Amino acid sequence: MPVPHAPTLSGADESHVSVHSVTMSDLSDALRKGVSDFWRHPSHYLFIALIYPVMGIVLAVWSAGGSAFSLLYPLATGFALLGPVAALGLYELSRRREQGLDDSPRHALSVLHHPAIGSMLVVGLYLAVVFAAWLAAAAALYNAFLGANPPEGILELITATLTTPAGQGLLLWGNVVGIGFALLVLATTAIAFPLLVDRGGSAGRAIATSIRAFFASPATFLAWGLIVAAILLVASIPLFVGLAIALPILGHATWHLYRKATD
């Protein structure tokens, strides 16, 4: 079943997409509109269904003990790298509402029939590779700093991380490397998925356009990354439950940020 609005994937579709700078007030407005879109059709039940399997993975690693503890932090933080994929349907709902079309939740599934679904899968695979690389880098750092004398429990791991030179080195370099991965994802996919939902095209064009948008307003996009990280951190504290509301709001807000960053 084709998506009525979707462009063909040739010719003008691959034309250059103009980008322009966005401001902090644009971020505020995008978040406000994201909240409005969420409350129009709350989608927290869907995200609860997505979050609890993630919690199960984290708890399984928690209970495994031994060297598996090294995956707790990168797993908990790294899942945010995959968030844009989960929000694909939300971009479609925001697009439809913006154009005055029927924006009932059932239309979120229409992205599965989008002509650019192949490009979306490619960008999603790219994010999965980045996520796997982050886990591998975190494991390598853990082995380098604490592998010779690994903590036997979660409390021992926390104590070693905060009170020993090796643990503090792991904390420092782990966060430096993690920030590097986060910046890579922010720059390459900040608006890539909304662009594909809106205009179709290739994964390469979507990523390239996202990079251009990032460098057109680097300070604003860095602020956006910090806002997203802060919201996700606060929402994760009550056993990840808050993510059921935070993730869809951020998904809708990302659509509006994309609209502000492109013509």
Return the minimum-mean-pLDDT range out of 12-21, 36-45, 70-79, 176-185: 70-79
| Of residues 61 and 2, more confidently modeled | 61
pLDDT surpasses 90 at 123 = yes
- The residue among 61 and 109 whose pLDDT is bigger is 109
In this prediction, residues 228-255 reach a mean pLDDT of: 84
Residue 64's pLDDT is: 57
Which residues, in sequence order, are CB contacts of 153 under 8 Å at separation 6+?
65, 69
Model confidence, pTM: 0.82
Give residue 234's pLDDT. 86
Average pLDDT over the chain, rounded to an integer: 82
Q: Which has more confidence, 5 or 138?
A: 138
DSSP per-residue codes, the chain: ---TTPPPSSGGGGSPPPB----HHHHHHHHHHHHHHHHHS--HHHHHHHHHHHHHHHHHHHHH-GGGGGGHHHHHHHGGGGHHHHTHHHHHHHHHHHTT----GGGGGGGGG-TTHHHHHHHHHHHHHHHHHHHHHHHHHHHHHHTTS--SSHHHHHHHHHHSHHHHHHHHHHHHHHHHHHHHHHHHHTTHHHHHHHH---HHHHHHHHHHHHHHSHHHHHHHHHHHHHHHHHHHTTTTTTHHHHHHHHHHHHHHHHHHHB-
pLDDT > 60? residue 49: no
Report pLDDT digits (tens) over 170-195: 889 988 998 999 999 999 999 999 99
pLDDT digit string, tens, across residues 185-235 = 999 999 999 999 999 999 999 999 999 999 999 999 999 999 998 998 888
Name the token pair of 256.
């509006």
Q: How confident is the model at residue 6 (pLDDT cuts 50, 70, 90)?
A: very low
Which has the minimum average pLDDT: 47-51, 144-148, 233-237?
47-51
